[in-house]
C-alpha cells in the first residue's frame, strides 16, 4: 500500500471524531500507537459500539478476527484507509 | 437534542426529562439512542426523582438474558421510561437464567421483581430434534423446550408473584434444508416456529410473549443478528436493531401497566387522503385505486381501520371548514373510513393542541393515551410543544410509509384483547355525541416564536410570476375575493404605475414553505383597493396575514393613498376569512356588503412572530 499522508490524516481526523462521539470524550486525541488501555471508557462493550460506529462512518465491514484482534489505533486506521479507499 | 441540552444547562430537570422521553420514544438510530442513554444517566444522577412519570413507587423490573445484557440494560431502562414507566431495573448475571429463576435465594428472587423480562436466544434452546426425527419425536422435542421455559417462568412467578415477559425465538439465519425444511420435522427453523406457537398457546396468564420472531422478520434476520458480535461478546441482537429490541420489551411491560395508547388522532389533508380538500375540492382528492399515491392513502386508512377494529379509538383533528372536512366521507366511494368510525371529529382553525385537549376531555382519556398523526411537521411541533404528553408520530414524507411508521412505534401494544376492546370505538363515539365542546387556550405565541419564522416580502417580479399565477388560481380558503386571473392580467400589477402586487415567502426551522401569499391592488383616487389577497393553507395561523397587512399599508402609503379598501366576496370555501378585515381594524363601509375600509393614519402595524429578511427583488428600491 502506498503511503498517502493526506488520506491518512483525514481518516485519522474522522476516526477521532467517531471515538469522541461514541465515548462522549470531546477532547479525546488518538495516535497510531494508542491502545484500548490508554483511553478512558474503551472497554469491551465500548469496543463493540466503536467498531459499529467506525463501520458506519467509513462505509466498510470489519471481520470477526479484525474486531477481536486489533492491536492499536494504527492498525484500525490502516484497515479503514485500505478498505474505504478501494 | 438541542432543546434537551439547553434545559439541562438551565437546570430545568423536570422538563429536560420530559423532553428526553419524547426523543427516546421516536429515536430509531442506535448511536443517537446511546447518546440519549448518556443524558438519561446524567439526569438520573442529578435528580433521580424527576424520572417519575406517574405517582407511586418505581416498577421493579428484572432483566434475565441468555446472552450478554450489558449493552441492553441502559437502552431498556430508557425505553421503559419512554413507555411511561419509572422503573427500578435489575440485571441478572448472564447465562444463568435457569438458576436465577429456580433458586429461591438467587439475586433475582431477592430483588423481588414485579415484572421479569426473560430474554433467551436460540443458543438457549436446549433440545433440538435429532436428524431424521419423526413428526412425533419432533413434537416431543417442542414440548420439552416449551415445558422448560414455562416451568422456569412458573417457578419465579410462584415464588415472587411477578409477571413474566418472555421473548420468543427468531428464525436462524441459515437453512441447510432449504425450502424442503418446511416439510421436514427436524428442520430447525420449522422447529422454532412450532416452539413459538406452543409457547403462545400454552402460556399462562402471567406469561406475556414478546414476539421477537415477528419483529426480527420485519427487520430482517440477517440484520437483526450480527454473528460477529455474538462470537466476540455474546450480543443477542445487532446494535442496528437494538432500539426496536428494547422498545418491544419495554412496550409489553408498559402494556401490562396500562401505559399503551388508546386513541389515534389523525389529520385529513395529505394524511388520510392526498391533496387539500379546501383547495382541490372533493373531486381533486387522491384516495382509492388507480393512482399510486391514492392507493397509499387508502392503505393507510385500511391500517387505521384495523386499529379501530381491535379497539383503538379513532379521531380527526383537521384545519378545515367542517363542511369541507366532512364531505369526502359522504361522497367518495373509495374512502375506507367513514364518519361513523371516528369518536371525535374536529375541523376548525384553532391550534391542533387545543383541539386535542378537547378530544381528550370529550372522550375522557388522558393526553398520554393519545397518538397524533399529521403530515405537517409544524403541526407536529406545535402539539409536541404545547402538550408533550401526547405521542407524536414522526411521519415520513412518503404516504406509502405512513402505516409502517405508525405501526413501528408499538404504542398500541396490548397484552390481551377483550370483548370490550372490539366495541370500544362505538362506546366512545356515543359518548362523544353527549359531550359539549369547550375551547382551551394554550401558549400559541410561544409556539410561533419557536418556529423561527423568516419571511421575504417582494413585489411581483419576473421569476415569481408563474407561482403567483398558480397560487392565485388554486387557492380557495384563505382567499378574500377568489378572483382568478391570467398571467397577463397579473402582470399589470407588476408594470402599471398605479398598481401594486406583493408576495411573501416563508421559511421556518422545518424548511422552506416557498411563496405562500399574494396580495394585489390598485389606486382609485386616494384609496388603495385590495383586489386580491390569498394565502396557502399550509401556513394558516402563523401571522403571515399580519405581515402582509403591514406591507399592504406601507405600499399603499408609497403610492400616496390615504386609506385602504378591502373586499370580501364569500364563496363555499372561504368562510375562514369572512372576518379578516374587521380583525385587522377595518370598519364596514356603510351600504356596501363585504367592503371594509381603514384610514392609513389609523392603521396600527402588527408584530407577527416572523423575522423579515432583506427583500430579494428590491421592494424598497422605488422609494
Per-position DSSP letters for B427-455, written without gaps between them? HHHHHHHHPPP------HHHHHHHT-EEE
Distance CA B39, CA B44 (A): 8
List chain B residues with pLDDT less than 50.
54-55, 430-441, 618-623
Q: Does domain B452-612 have CATH number 3.40.390.10?
A: no
Instruction: Report CB contact under 8 Å: A48, B34.
Output: no
Note the pLDDT of residue B223.
Answer: 95
Which residues in chain B touch residue A62, judged by CB atoms under 8 angstroms apart?
A: 228
Domains of chain B, residue spans? 1-51, 57-256, 263-446, 452-612
Residue B179's pLDDT is: 97
Q: CB distance B231–A64 less than 8 Å? A: yes
DSSP sequence for B161-214: --EEEEE--PPPS--TTGGGGGG-TT-HHHHHHHHHHHHHHH--TTEEEE-HHH
Contacts of A52 in chain B (CB under 8 A): 30-31, 239-240
Could you tell me if B372 lies within 8 Å of chain A, comparing CB atoms?
no
Interface residues of chain A, partner chain B, Cβ below 8 Å: 21-22, 24, 44-45, 47-49, 52-53, 56, 62-64, 67-68
**Which of A48, A51, A56 has the most B C-beta neighbours within 10 Å, making it the best mutation to test the interface with B?**
A48
Interface test with A, best of B35, B228, B231, B242 (most A CBs within 10 A): B228
What pLDDT is stored for residue A4 in this prediction?
53
B450 contacts B608 by C-beta, under 8 angstroms: no
Which of B568, B481, B557 is CA-nearest to residue B526? B557
- What confidence score (pLDDT) does residue B49 get? 61
Instruction: Say if residue A29 is exposed, middle or buried (CB neighbours under 10 Å; 0-12, 13-18, 19+).
Output: exposed
Give just the sign of the alpha carbon dihedral B564, B565, B571, B577.
positive
**B443-499 per-position pLDDT tens digit:** 677 778 877 889 999 999 988 888 898 888 778 889 999 888 877 889 999 999 999
Q: Which three cell numbers stand for residue A46?
A: 465500548
Distance (Å, whole) CA B76 – CA B70: 10
Q: What are phi and psi of B4, to 5 degrees?
A: -60, -45
Residue-wise pLDDT for B116-149, tens only, equals 999 999 999 999 999 999 999 999 999 999 999 9
Domains B57-256 and B263-446 share a fold: yes
Residue (of B357, B505, B495, B342) closest to B428 by Cα position? B342
Tell me whether residues B240 and A21 touch, CB distance under 8 A.
Answer: no
Taking CA–CA distances from A22, the nearest residue in chain B reads B31
Q: By three-state DSSP, how is residue B564 classified?
A: strand
Please, how many CA atoms are within 13 Å of residue B35, restricted to the half-sphere of its CB? 18
Structural domain range at position A11: 5-85
Chain B residues touching A45 at Cβ < 8 A:
70-71, 233
CATH no., domain B263-446: 3.40.50.1000
Q: Choose between A8 and B172: higher pLDDT.
A: B172
Q: What pLDDT is recorded for position B427?
A: 55
Q: Which of A21, A45, A62 sits opposite B71 (nearest CB)?
A: A45
Res. A5: pLDDT tops 70: no
> Half-sphere exposure of B508 toward its Cβ, with a 13 Å CA cutoff?
23
Q: Which of B494, B604, B504 is nearest to B550 (CA)?
A: B604
Domain CATH for A79: 1.10.1200.10
Contact B340, B567 (CB under 8 A): no
Q: Provide the pLDDT for residue B433.
A: 42
Record: fold of B57-256? Rossmann fold (3.40.50)
pLDDT of residue B55: 46
Q: Please name the residue that has the C-alpha cell 423579515.
A: B612
* Cell numbers representing residue B595 in the block: 367592503
By Cβ distance, the residue of B35, B38, B229 closest to A48 is B229
Number of domains in chain A: 1
Predicted local distance difference test score (pLDDT) of residue B382: 96
Provide the pLDDT for residue B381.
93
CB contact under 8 A, B34 and A22: yes
Contacts of A55 in chain B (CB under 8 A): none
CB contact under 8 A, B240 and A53: no
Indicate the helix (H) or strand (E) that contains B142: helix B135-160
8 Å CB contact of B35 and A49: no
Q: Tell me, what's the pLDDT at B47?
A: 73
Q: Which residues are B501's β-sheet partners?
A: B520
* pLDDT score, position B440: 34
Amino acid at each position: 500500500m502506498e503511503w498517502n499522508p493526506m488520506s491518512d490524516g483525514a481518516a485519522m481526523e474522522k476516526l477521532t471524531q467517531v471515538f469522541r462521539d461514541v465515548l462522549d470524550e470531546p477532547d479525546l486525541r488518538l495516535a497510531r500507537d494508542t491502545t484500548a488501555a490508554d483511553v478512558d471508557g474503551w472497554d469491551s462493550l465500548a469496543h463493540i459500539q466503536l467498531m459499529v460506529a467506525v463501520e458506519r462512518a467509513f462505509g466498510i465491514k470489519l471481520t470477526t478476527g479484525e474486531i477481536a484482534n486489533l492491536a492499536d489505533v494504527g492498525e484500525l486506521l490502516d484497515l479503514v484507509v485500505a478498505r474505504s479507499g478501494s | 437534542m438541542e432543546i434537551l441540552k439547553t434545559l439541562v444547562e438551565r437546570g430545568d430537570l423536570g422538563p429536560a426529562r420530559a423532553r428526553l422521553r419524547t426523543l427516546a420514544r421516536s429515536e430509531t438510530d442506535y448511536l443517537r439512542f446511546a447518546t440519549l442513554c448518556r443524558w438519561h444517566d446524567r439526569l438520573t444522577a442529578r435528580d433521580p426523582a424527576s424520572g417519575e412519570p406517574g405517582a407511586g413507587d418505581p416498577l421493579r423490573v428484572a432483566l434475565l438474558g441468555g446472552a450478554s445484557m450489558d449493552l441492553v440494560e441502559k437502552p431498556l431502562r430508557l425505553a421503559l421510561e419512554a413507555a411511561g414507566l419509572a422503573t427500578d431495573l435489575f440485571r441478572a448475571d448472564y447465562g444463568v437464567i435457569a438458576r436465577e429463576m429456580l433458586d429461591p435465594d438467587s439475586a433475582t428472587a431477592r430483588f423481588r421483581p414485579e415484572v421479569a423480562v426473560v430474554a433467551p436466544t436460540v443458543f438457549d434452546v436446549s433440545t433440538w430434534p435429532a436428524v431424521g426425527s419423526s413428526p412425533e419425536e419432533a413434537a416431543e422435542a417442542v414440548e420439552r423446550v416449551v415445558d422448560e421455559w414455562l416451568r422456569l417462568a412458573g417457578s419465579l412467578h410462584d415464588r415472587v408473584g411477578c409477571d413474566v415477559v418472555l421473548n420468543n425465538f427468531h428464525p436462524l439465519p441459515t437453512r441447510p434444508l432449504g425450502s424442503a425444511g418446511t416439510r421436514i420435522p427436524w428442520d430447525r427453523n420449522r422447529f422454532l416456529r412450532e416452539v413459538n406457537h406452543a409457547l403462545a398457546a400454552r402460556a399462562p396468564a402471567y406469561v406475556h410473549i414478546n414476539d421477537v420472531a415477528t419483529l426480527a422478520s420485519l427487520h430482517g434476520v440477517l440484520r437483526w443478528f450480527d454473528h460477529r458480535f455474538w462470537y466476540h461478546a455474546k450480543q443477542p441482537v445487532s446494535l442496528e436493531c437494538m432500539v426496536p429490541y428494547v422498545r418491544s420489551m419495554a412496550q409489553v411491560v408498559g402494556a401490562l401497566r396500562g401505559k399503551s395508547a388508546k386513541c389515534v388522532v389523525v389529520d385529513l389533508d395529505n394524511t388520510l387522503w392526498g391533496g387539500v380538500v379546501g383547495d382541490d375540492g372533493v373531486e381533486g382528492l387522491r384516495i382509492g385505486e388507480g393512482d399510486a399515491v391514492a392507493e397509499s392513502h387508502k392503505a393507510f386508512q385500511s391500517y387505521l381501520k384495523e386499529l379501530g377494529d381491535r379497539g383503538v379509538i379513532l379521531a380527526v383533528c383537521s384545519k378545515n371548514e367542517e363542511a369541507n372536512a366532512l364531505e369526502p366521507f359522504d361522497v367518495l366511494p373509495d374512502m375506507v373510513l367513514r364518519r361513523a368510525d371516528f369518536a371525535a371529529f374536529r375541523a376548525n382553525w384553532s391550534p391542533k393542541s387545543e383541539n386535542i385537549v378537547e378530544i381528550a376531555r370529550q372522550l375522557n382519556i388522558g393526553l398520554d393515551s393519545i397518538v397524533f398523526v399529521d403530515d405537517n411537521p409544524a403541526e407536529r411541533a406545535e402539539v409536541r410543544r404545547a402538550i408533550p404528553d401526547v405521542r407524536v408520530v414522526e411521519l415520513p414524507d412518503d404516504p406509502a410509509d405512513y402505516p409502517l411508521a405508525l405501526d413501528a412505534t408499538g404504542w398500541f401494544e396490548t397484552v390481551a384483547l377483550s370483548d370490550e376492546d372490539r366495541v370500544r370505538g362505538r362506546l366512545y363515539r356515543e359518548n362523544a355525541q353527549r359531550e359539549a365542546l369547550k375551547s382551551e387556550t394554550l401558549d400559541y405565541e410561544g409556539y410561533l416564536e419557536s418556529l423561527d419564522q423568516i419571511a421575504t416580502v417582494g413585489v411581483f417580479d419576473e421569476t415569481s410570476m408563474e407561482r403567483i399565477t398558480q397560487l392565485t388560481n388554486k387557492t380557495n380558503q384563505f382567499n378574500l375575493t377568489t378572483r382568478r386571473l391570467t398571467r397577463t392580467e397579473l402582470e399589470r400589477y407588476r408594470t402599471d404605475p398605479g398598481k401594486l402586487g406583493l408576495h411573501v415567502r416563508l421559511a421556518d426551522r422545518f424548511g422552506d414553505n416557498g411563496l405562500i401569499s399574494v396580495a394585489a391592488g390598485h389606486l382609485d383616487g386616494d384609496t388603495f383597493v385590495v383586489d386580491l389577497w390569498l394565502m396557502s393553507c399550509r401556513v394558516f395561523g402563523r401571522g403571515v396575514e399580519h405581515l402582509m397587512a403591514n406591507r399592504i399599508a406601507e405600499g399603499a402609503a408609497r403610492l400616496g393613498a390615504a386609506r385602504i379598501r378591502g373586499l370580501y366576496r364569500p364563496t363555499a370555501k372561504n368562510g375562514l376569512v369572512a372576518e379578516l378585515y374587521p380583525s385587522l381594524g377595518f370598519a364596514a363601509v356603510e351600504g356596501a356588503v363585504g367592503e371594509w375600509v381603514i384610514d392609513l393614519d389609523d392603521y396600527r402595524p402588527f408584530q407577527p412572530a416572523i423575522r423579515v429578511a432583506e427583500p430579494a427583488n428590491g421592494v424598497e428600491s422605488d422609494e
